[in-house]
């Protein structure tokens, strides 16, 4: 039986970044990554395979940097792990022993068995699998009536892309009042719904799917709670993901209320030398300190970098405890982004807050042809002035500006500090120095804390 110093189970962003960081830090140690499929894909790029990228080949991602650093890769599925003997078995009957073991087994789409007809032919999912998406791309190319169930990021992005084909009718069904409710406040979800409709998607909100109707095993329509029947040849379920933890649980690891592997701030599980990272592992909300259900490539790779440095001893001390979610997406050219605690999250956690808002154009002066409106809202703790969250809506710059807010949250920056924030501005690139949106939003928050 071959032994490796480190074995990583998985081939997604967490596995790749843990592998490449860990191997570079420990060039003398042997590393093996065991992944299910030979070809990998950028999970966040999947929606764009259906139109803007045009093919799954243009959305490939693999462990090349890990291999270049000296790591080995095996395409196989791990079926059993024995913690006492520190060994594992694969589907092909291979056995390996390890010193350190990393679970990076990710997440899988939730299958809504409670919806009648969920098992009909052509009811599909957005699986993070190269082979599956390759086949799904052919099916979306052929189908003229496609219904997407679930108005979260993935459902919205896939619908927006498919609606770019003018010969298709794309319907999106969301049971809540607006799409993207978990990530944005009412104002932005309202604007997002408008952008989705403008992009040509037939949007049904406050609408619950009661049945997927079919004849001879094939989908023909989707039925809603109000009796509406939407004709469909293809249905894409996008109602969420669940951590892929069957293997870990079989081996004896405990999961939290979200089905995610319990681990500490350094990705260590309670079993010595066994780690869990990324979507398969539990997250603790940065403000509430409670279990949170955050599954993002950005947070997964941040955790993977920390784990890569700390596999053998703690070299990189984690100064920020908890996981900060930073979301962004683009619908029909409009960017929607949020970081940390948005209004409803603060309310649910019983945290008092005020908001400081400001809107301006993203260039200056306003006369340039390609300006977009840029709206910023900072969520602030009124007793300390500390920024705990934020939202932005606007052009492309919103995607990076939200990361500035993310950094401010992580560093505990107050709105008082933000008003003296040293910035660089340029007419073609940023908002005006006289009314820089982040600073004006901070001023708006201060005026609410201490009216002047």
Ligand X SMILES: Cc1cc2nc3c(=O)[nH]c(=O)nc-3n(C[C@H](O)[C@H](O)[C@H](O)COP(=O)(O)OP(=O)(O)OC[C@H]3O[C@@H](n4cnc5c(N)ncnc54)[C@H](O)[C@@H]3O)c2cc1C
Buried b (16+ CB within 10 A) or exposed e, 44-71: bbbbbbbbebeebeebebbbeebbebeb
Is 34 near ligand X (CB under 6 A)? yes
Complex with ligand X: residue 100 or 440, whichever CB lies closer: 100
Total residues found in the chain within this entry = 452
Q: Which of 21, 59, 105, 189 binds ligand X (CB under 6 A)?
A: 105
Q: CA nearest 361: which of 399, 337, 405, 394? A: 394
11 binds ligand X (CB under 6 A): yes
C-alpha–C-alpha distance, residues 175 and 149, integer Å: 9
Contact range with ligand X by CB under 6 A, out of 58-66, 297-305, 363-371, 413-421? 297-305
DSSP assignment letter at 235: E
Q: How far is the CB of 96 from ligand X (least distance, A)?
A: 12
| Rounded Cα–Cα distance for residues 306 and 22 (Å) | 9
Question: Among residues 69 and 224, whose Cβ is nearest to ligand X?
Answer: 69
Rg (CA), the chain: 23
CB 103 within 8 A of CB 239: no
Least gap, CB of 299 to ligand X (angstroms): 7
Q: Which one, 141 or 229, has the nearer CB to ligand X? A: 141
Cα–Cα distances (Å) from 314 to 25, 270, 294, in that order, read 12, 16, 24
**36 contact partners, CB below 8 Å, separation of at least 6:** 11, 75, 76, 77
Question: What DSSP string describes 280-328?
Answer: GB-EEBTTT-SEE----HHHHHHHHHHHHHHSSS--S---S-SB--EEE
321 binds ligand X (CB under 6 A): no
Positive/negative CA dihedral, 276, 278, 282, 285: positive
Nearest Cα residue to 18 out of 274, 275, 307, 300: 307
Among 107, 269, 310, 377, binds ligand X (CB under 6 A): 107
Q: Is residue 43 within the footprint of ligand X (CB under 6 A)?
A: yes
Selected range binding ligand X among 10-18, 21-29, 395-403, 441-449, rule: CB under 6 A: 10-18
Residue 55 found at the interface with ligand X (CB under 6 A) = no
* Site map (CB under 6 A) of ligand X, residues 237-256, x = contact: -------x--x---------
128 to 157: interface string for ligand X, x by CB under 6 A: x-------------------------x---
341-360 binders of ligand X (CB under 6 A): none
Pick from 104, 6, 21, 11: nearest CA to 69: 21
Of 278, 385, 394, 406, the residue at the interface with ligand X (CB under 6 A) is: 278
Q: Does 82 bind ligand X (CB under 6 A)?
A: no
Among the listed ranges 197-205, 295-303, 341-349, 430-438, the one in contact with ligand X (CB under 6 A) is 295-303
9 touching ligand X, by CB under 6 A:
yes
- # residues near ligand X by CB under 6 A: 33
In the bound complex, what is the minimum distance in angstroms from residue 446's beta carbon to ligand X? 32
CA atoms within 13 A of residue 218's CA, in its CB half-sphere: 7
Contact with ligand X (CB under 6 A) among 6, 12, 195, 310: 12
Which is nearer to ligand X, 104 or 387 (by Cβ)? 104
Candidates 6-14, 217-225, 284-292, 389-397; binding stretch for ligand X (CB under 6 A): 6-14
* Residue range at the interface with ligand X (CB under 6 A); choices 33-41, 135-143, 172-180, 252-260: 33-41
Looking only at the bridges linking them, the beta strands covering 145-149 and 234-237 are parallel
Nearest one of 17, 103, 7 to 302, comparing CA atoms: 17
For position 47 contacting ligand X by CB under 6 A, the verdict is: yes
Beta bridge partner(s), residue 255: 261
How open is the CA angle 153-158-162, to the nearest 5 degrees? 150
302 binds ligand X (CB under 6 A): no
First to last CA, the chain: 73
User: Judged by CB, which is closer to ligand X: 241, or 358?
Assistant: 241
Please report how close the Cβ of residue 146 comes to ligand X at its closest, in angstroms.
Answer: 16
Q: Using CB atoms, what's the residue nearest to ligand X?
A: 106
Q: How far is the CB of 319 from ligand X (least distance, A)?
A: 21
| In the complex, minimum distance from the CB of residue 106 to ligand X, in angstroms, rounded to a whole number | 2
- From candidates 69, 159, 295, 337, binder to ligand X by CB under 6 A: 295
DSSP conformation letters of 134-196: HHHHHHHHH-SEEEEE--SHHHHHHHHHHTTSTT-EEEEE-SSSSTTTTTS-HHHHHHHHHHH
Q: Does 293 bind ligand X (CB under 6 A)?
A: no
The CA distance from 245 to 34, in Å, is: 16
Q: Quick one: 47 or 308, whose CB is closer to ligand X?
A: 47
Residue 44 C-beta: closest distance to ligand X, Å: 3
Residue ranges that bind ligand X, judged by CB under 6 A: 9-15, 34-37, 43-44, 46-47, 77-78, 104-107, 126, 128, 154, 244, 247, 278-279, 295-298, 300
């Amino acid at each position: 039986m071959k032994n490796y110093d480190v074995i990583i189970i998985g081939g997604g962003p967490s596995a790749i970044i843990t592998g490449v960081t860990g191997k570079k830090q420990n060039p003398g140690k042997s590393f093996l990554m065991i992944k299910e499929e030979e070809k990998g894909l950028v999970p966040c790029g999947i929606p764009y395979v259906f139109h803007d990228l045009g093919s799954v080949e243009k959305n490939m991602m693999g462990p090349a940097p890990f291999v270049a650093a000296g790591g080995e890769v095996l395409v196989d599925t791990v079926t059993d792990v024995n913690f006492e003997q520190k060994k594992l078995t694969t589907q092909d009957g291979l056995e390996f022993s390890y010193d350190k073991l990393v679970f990076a087994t990710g997440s899988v789409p939730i299958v809504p068995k409670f919806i009648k007809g969920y098992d009909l032919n052509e009811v599909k999912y957005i699986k993070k699998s190269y082979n599956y998406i390759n086949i799904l791309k052919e099916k979306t190319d052929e189908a003229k009536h496609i219904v997407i169930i679930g108005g979260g990021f993935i459902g919205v992005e896939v619908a927006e892309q498919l609606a770019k084909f003018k010969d298709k009718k794309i319907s999106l069904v969301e049971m809540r009042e607006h799409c993207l409710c978990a990530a944005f406040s009412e104002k932005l979800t309202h604007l997002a719904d408008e952008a989705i409709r403008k992009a040509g998607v037939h949007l049904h909100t406050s609408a619950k799917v009661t049945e997927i109707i079919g004849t001879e095993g094939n989908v023909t329509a989707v039925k809603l709670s109000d009796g509406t029947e939407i004709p469909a040849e293809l249905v894409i379920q996008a109602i969420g993901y669940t951590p892929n933890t069957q293997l870990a649980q079989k081996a004896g690891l405990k999961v939290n209320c979200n089905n995610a592997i319990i681990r500490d701030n350094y990705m260590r599980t309670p079993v010595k030398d066994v780690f869990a990272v990324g979507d398969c592992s539990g997250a603790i909300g940065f403000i509430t300190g409670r279990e949170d259900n955050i599954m993002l490539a950005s947070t997964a790779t941040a955790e993977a970098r920390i784990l890569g440095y700390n596999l053998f001893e703690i070299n990189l001390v984690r100064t920020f405890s908890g996981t900060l979610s930073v979301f962004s997406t683009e619908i029909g050219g409009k960017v929607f982004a949020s970081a940390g605690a948005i209004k409803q999250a603060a309310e649910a956690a019983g945290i008092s807050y005020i908001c400081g808002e400001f809107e301006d154009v993203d260039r200056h002066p306003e006369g340039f042809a390609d300006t977009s409106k840029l709206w910023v809202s900072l969520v602030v703790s009124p007793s300390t002035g500390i920024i705990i969250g934020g939202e932005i809506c606007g052009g492309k710059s919103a995607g990076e500006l939200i990361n500035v807010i993310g950094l401010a949250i992580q560093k505990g920056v107050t709105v008082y500090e933000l008003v003296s924030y040293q910035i660089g501005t340029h007419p073609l690139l940023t908002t005006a120095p006289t009314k820089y949106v982040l600073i004006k939003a901070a001023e708006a928050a201060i005026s609410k804390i201490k009216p002047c």
